[in-house]
Amino acid sequence: MPNPIADPLVEGVDTDSQSRLVLIDATADGVATVTINRADRKNAFNAEVISALREAFETLEGADGVRVIFVKGAGGTFSAGADLEWMRDAADHTEADNREDAMNMAAMLKHLYDLPMLTVALVEGSAFGGGAGLAAACDMAIATADARFAFSEVKLGLVAATISPYVIAAIGPRRARGLFALGRGFDAAAAWNYGLIDEVVADAEALEVARQAIITEIKVCAPGAVGESKRLVAHVAGRVIDHNLMTETAHRIARVRVGPEGQEGVRAFLAHRRPAWIDQT
């Protein structure tokens, strides 16, 4: 598996048909950016884009030293959702073929969701359907004020199926029912109010400022603890607070306390010095 820290620009896949559809750009200090590079089609999804995104996330999962992953679209648009030609072809496919296509999308989103490092969507322009779902599958999302969102599948007689677990987790079931049922478009301010977006900034320049702020913040956080924290949320969310959950959470913090990062972090704090993971970036 290639290490993007060693190779600053990695194409999402190797075949000519998918060449440069998705790019990975990584720096030596652990910042990676995954870009959907299909600006001429507003970064719309088709089978090749989905496959390239999945491979990009699989590559980054095993990459040493990556602290944060930004997900964006080329050309000032995040993603317009499904490619119309791809949808037209899918209408002539069997249910089994369509199930396979949908499972590829579902697997790509799950790979993104399960990444141990912080993931942040940088949204400009449109984020429709699967594009909005991609943003929801990230840990955080920042959007420019002029960004637009929609789950408009119902207007095509479809449903927002594979993205639904991530969207519902972000905005809640009641809000999702209304947005999924009406297919209504909404702006970045509404997306923030719904919980789909964490921060709204003025423009692309401000988006870069917000990106740099996250890079600065993540570098003081222990990499292993970041991954543990993400797994903790997935483990605890929706569960009843009973003795079993109390015991499990106590075991988690006890294990981390005696681990190398926990030991280093506490000792560094008491000695009034920076922990080792900061000096390693």
Q: For the chain, what is the domain count? A: 2
Q: What is the DSSP letter of 14?
A: S
Are 257 and 210 contained in the same domain?
A: no
Of 194, 218, 242, the last residue of a domain is 218
Of 218, 238, 270, the last residue of a domain is 218
Q: What is the pTM of this model?
A: 0.90
Q: What is the pLDDT of residues 103-160, one digit of tens each?
A: 999 999 999 999 999 999 999 999 999 999 999 999 999 999 999 999 999 998 999 9
Residue 3 in domain: no
Are 60 and 183 contained in the same domain?
A: yes
Are 148 and 86 contained in the same domain?
A: yes
Are 83 and 166 contained in the same domain?
A: yes
Do 67 and 219 meet the contact criterion of CB atoms below 8 Å apart? yes
Q: What is the pLDDT of residues 23-56, one digit of tens each?
A: 999 999 999 999 999 999 999 999 999 999 999 9
pLDDT for residue 19: 57
Residue 1 in domain: no
Is the predicted pLDDT of residue 3 greater than 90, yes or no?
A: no
Rg of the chain on CA atoms, in Å: 20
Instruction: Check which CATH number belongs to the domain holding 47 and give it.
Output: 3.90.226.10
Task: Quote the CA–CA distance of 86 and 108 in Å, as a whole number.
Answer: 17
Are 133 and 170 contained in the same domain?
A: yes
Is the predicted pLDDT of residue 7 greater than 70, yes or no?
A: no
Cα dist from 122 to 53, 96, 106, 238, whole Å: 16, 34, 21, 28
Q: How far from each other are the two terminal CA atoms of the chain, in whole angstroms?
A: 22
Q: Is the dihedral of CA 42, 47, 52, 57 positive or negative?
A: positive
pLDDT for residue 278: 87
Are 189 and 112 contained in the same domain?
A: yes
Residue 107 in domain: yes
Do 147 and 198 meet the contact criterion of CB atoms below 8 Å apart? no
The rounded mean pLDDT for the chain is 90
Centre a 10 Å sphere on the Cβ of residue 197 and count the other Cβ atoms it contains.
26
Structural domain boundaries enclosing 243: 223-279
95-99, 124-128, 192-196, 243-247, range with the lowest pLDDT: 95-99
Strand-by-strand arrangement of the 199-201 sheet: 9-11, 22-26, 31-36, 68-73, 118-123, 140-144, 199-201
Give the type of residue at 197.
I
